[in-house]
Amino acid sequence: MLPKVISAVHLALWVSSYAITSAEDPHLTRALKLMSETPLIDGHNDLPWQLRKQFNNELNKVDLNTLSTTHTNIPKIKEGRLGAQFWSAYVPCDTQYKDAVRQTLEQIDVIHRMCQKYPETFMFATSSKDIMDAFSMNKTASLIGVEGGHSLDSSLGALRTMYQLGVRYLTLTHSCNTPWADNWLVDTGSEPSQHNGLSPFGKQLIMEMNRLGMLIDLAHVPVTVMNQVLDMSKAPVIFSHSSAYSICQHKRNVPDDVLKRVNETGGIVMVNFYNDYVTCSKTAKLSDVADHFDHIKKVAGAGIIGFGGDYDGVTRLPEGLEDVSKVPKLVAELLRRGWTDDEVKAALGDNLLRVLTEVERVGHSLSGTSPDDVPIPYEEVKNSCRTHYGYPNAGAVHSLSTLALLLALALQTLITLTAL
């Protein structure tokens, strides 16, 4: 009988909270109702990186019910009505050419373990169906996105392995060029372009992601890469945490012509809450974030909009959106601005579900195609931390170089002896 009593108490509290909310803000009441019908799907949350930074991934030392040093914990998730979350498996750019793959695997592992430790809150998810199944059980569907192509060490095999571990999107770059793609800083002029966007191997990788049924995330890439991918991808793309460039002219944001192309190709832009991308300053308000939603809807329609808060990955958040629990207030603001129920539901989760379903369909249609096993050319990845195994010509070149050096030394010794 006890569970039924508890359920009745929860129901009474829910009804009571609705009544109080209604009296205070009918738009918030309506927002909560819509969020009970359609899952809020957020494109990017860096809680796993905070678990690394603060606890070195020692989850036994952490209680997500009481954790107070992050934007995200279980009570905040519940209050924010978070239906599904792409958790970021992120490691910094200085791991490139070193231990990026290992560290990324450890971030994937901590997301899995987080779901296992709190099964009453999280359900690990890899598909659009999983998201809806979790929503029906009042759990937060937990998906993985790898943030930064440097995490692959330029390996299609690593990409496929991460997919098998549940990764469902790859952000092509973070804030460093990879051996096959330029990053967004190229557009600021602070870094040189190395590939004029994507290298031939970068284009191979896009096609392999299509074949796998993995979302291609264009947050953190320059406009050249945005357009190259939009030209060639057989599936729609996402921007997991980017805002509108016309509102805040930061190179991490998406220009209007690209917004229109995202609409034409059926993709989604999930709005980032970071003050610097919202107002191009250190301060912002919730209404400033809503301005980005309004602008994207005006330019390209409500069908390409989503939420990509970037909680726990940023240092400054707007007044009114200080943590994950506050997102319903943003939904209420959209309703206050005249957004229809259908438009709000599209932004909450229907748009992302449509995109993910189509990416899955494309992957299924290509499932009979053999995996691409042509590696990146050795000269494009050669460095002191990489061996040449599997590249026989590279080994031969190394041997010939060594032989040439020995011959040169022998010749110099002979000349010296002759002179004596």
In the chain, what are the helix, strand and coil shares in percent, each to the nearest 5?
55, 10, 35
Task: Give the separation between CA 295 and CA 279, rounded to whole angstroms.
Answer: 13
Contact 39, 84 (CB under 8 A): yes
CB 100 within 8 A of CB 178: no
The Cα 174–Cα 225 span in angstroms is: 13
> Which candidate, 342, 348, 308, 351, places its Cα nearest to that of 328?
348
Query: Which of 174, 250, 292, 295 does the annotation list as catalytic?
Result: 174
d(CA 53, CA 244): 30
In this structure, the number of other CB atoms found within 10 A of the CB of residue 238 comes to 30
Contacts of 252 (CB under 8 A, 6+ apart): 184, 219, 220, 242, 243, 272, 277
Residue-wise burial string across 55-84, b where 16 or more C-beta atoms lie within 10 A, e elsewhere: eebebeebebeebeebbbbbebbeebbbbb
**d(Cα 4, Cα 8) in Å, to the nearest integer?**
6
- State how far the Cα of 29 lies from the Cα of 23, in Å rounded to an integer: 9
Whole-angstrom distance, CA of residue 124 vs CA of residue 20: 34
SS3 of residue 384 by DSSP: coil
Residue 407 CB-half CA count within 13 A:
6
Select which of 27, 44, 195, 250 is catalytic.
Answer: 44
* Under 8 Å between Cβ of 219 and 252: yes
The yes-or-no answer on residue 292 being catalytic is no
- Whether 10 is catalytic: no
Question: 148 has which bridge partners?
Answer: none
- Given the residues 71, 150, 195, 241, the one annotated as active site: 241
* Catalytic, out of 153, 310, 323, 343: 310
Nearest partner of 88 among 145, 35, 4, 139, judged by Cα: 145
The verdict on whether 241 is a catalytic residue reads: yes
From the candidates 27, 71, 150, 220, give the one annotated as an active-site residue: 220
- Tokens representing 255? 């220009």
Q: Which helix (H) or strand (E) holds 84?
A: strand 82-90
Is 46 a known active-site residue? Answer: yes
CA angle 123/129/130 to nearest 5° reads 10
User: Cβ(122)–Cβ(140) under 8 Å?
Assistant: yes
Active-site residue (options: 42, 46, 291, 294): 46
Whether 44 is catalytic: yes
Helix (H) / strand (E) containing 306: strand 305-307
Instruction: Give CA angle at 357 (124, 48), nearest 5°.
Output: 30
| DSSP structure class, residue 301 | -
Annotated catalytic residue: which of 147, 312, 323, 343?
147
Catalytic residues: 44, 46, 147, 174, 220, 241, 310
